Amino acid sequence: MHEPNRPPSHFEDAYPDEVDRLFARLDRAPVPDDLTARVLSSTVERTNATRAVLAWPWMVACLLALGLLTIAGYELGASLAATDGLELVAAIFTDAGLLATAPGDVLAALNEVVPWTLVVMAGVSGALLILAAGNIVSRAPGSLRPHKVA
């Protein structure tokens, strides 16, 4: 079945098979008269109020994650300051050769001074913060989203 405005592709054979003959007999389906109105009404039905209703749980999750991240960061800093953890972290970042020469000793020292539960809590709350902020931004009204400049 060839359309007059479309050039033949390299997949089309010169001889039509049974499927081509069946498709040649088909007519185009009629488009309903109110199709455009139905599509537009379904997109307009979801107003900004509906978007705000869907976004508020993510705002609460974002605030909770931010609070948890603040507490975990403060406690982690206080814990590292109370022990030799800050000196060890500073030594690792200033002298990368420590990890190259004695990685086992460095990891053992880190394991002694770093409170890993606080590190995990900070990581989880940071991931939740990113997820919640992304969901809030995706539910912003169209007028607040950046417009593409051609």
pLDDT in tens, 108-148: 988 998 899 999 999 999 999 999 998 888 766 555 555 56
Rounded distance, CA 132 to CA 143, Å?
A: 21
Distances (CA, A) of 36 to 27, 31, 96, 125: 22, 10, 64, 45
What pLDDT sits at residue 125? Answer: 96
Please tell me whether residue 2 adopts helix, strand or coil conformation.
Answer: coil
12 vs 116, residue with greater confidence: 116
What pLDDT sits at residue 128? Answer: 95
pLDDT tens, position by position, 39-88: 777 766 555 556 656 778 889 999 999 999 999 999 999 999 998 888 98
Q: Is there a contact between 107 and 114 (Cβ–Cβ < 8 Å)?
A: no
What pLDDT sits at residue 145? Answer: 52
What pLDDT sits at residue 96? Answer: 82
Question: What is the value of pTM for the model shown?
Answer: 0.55
Q: Residue holding tokens 């040649």?
A: 24
pLDDT higher than 80, residue 15: no
